[in-house]
Amino acid sequence: MVLATHEMINKNHVSIEDRRYALSTDIDWLEQRSEWTGLKSVVMVESNRMIGETTSTERRYYLTSLTDLSKVADPIRAHWAIRNSQHLVLDVTFGEDDSVKLQKNARSNKALLSRIALNLLRDHDDSKLSIKRRRITEYSVL
């Protein structure tokens, strides 16, 4: 059995996040492994996030054809960083989490329009302004 591990600690002005990655090529126990073409390993990511006095732990598992943990950890982190930063902006600036009461098509349409608006705002020349402020400036297209 091969078990590779890696740990990363990230700090920002609000939180500290400690991520532990573990990759195992021992997948004989996985009954459905034949259904995953090229499957060679399982990766577990454990994230411990501390915001003030509150600590939360989350574990995620991934199936992959890669066996080099350094080639797996960076794309996983990049995916979640993009997803989290976009979700936070869409929720805070456009109130996307409040859209759960909309009907299915309306919710999807609003999400699409919000993403288009976010991309337009990010292309705005004045990068010193927050996305929220860009929405309300007289120079904004929205």
CATH code at 33?
2.20.130.10
* 45 lies in some domain: yes
Q: What was the pLDDT predicted at 135? A: 72
* 15 lies in some domain: yes
In this prediction the pTM is 0.56
* 81 lies in some domain: no
* 87 lies in some domain: no
Q: Which stretches of the chain score pLDDT less than 50?
A: 140, 142
Given a contact cutoff of 8 angstroms between Cβ atoms, the answer to whether 67 and 49 are in contact is: no
**Count of the separate structural domains present in the chain:** 1
* 43 lies in some domain: yes
* 39 lies in some domain: yes
Q: What was the pLDDT predicted at 39? A: 94
The one-letter amino acid at 29:
W
* 136 lies in some domain: no
Q: Which 3 state secondary structure label does DSSP give 88?
A: helix
Q: Which domain holds residue 20?
A: 1-66
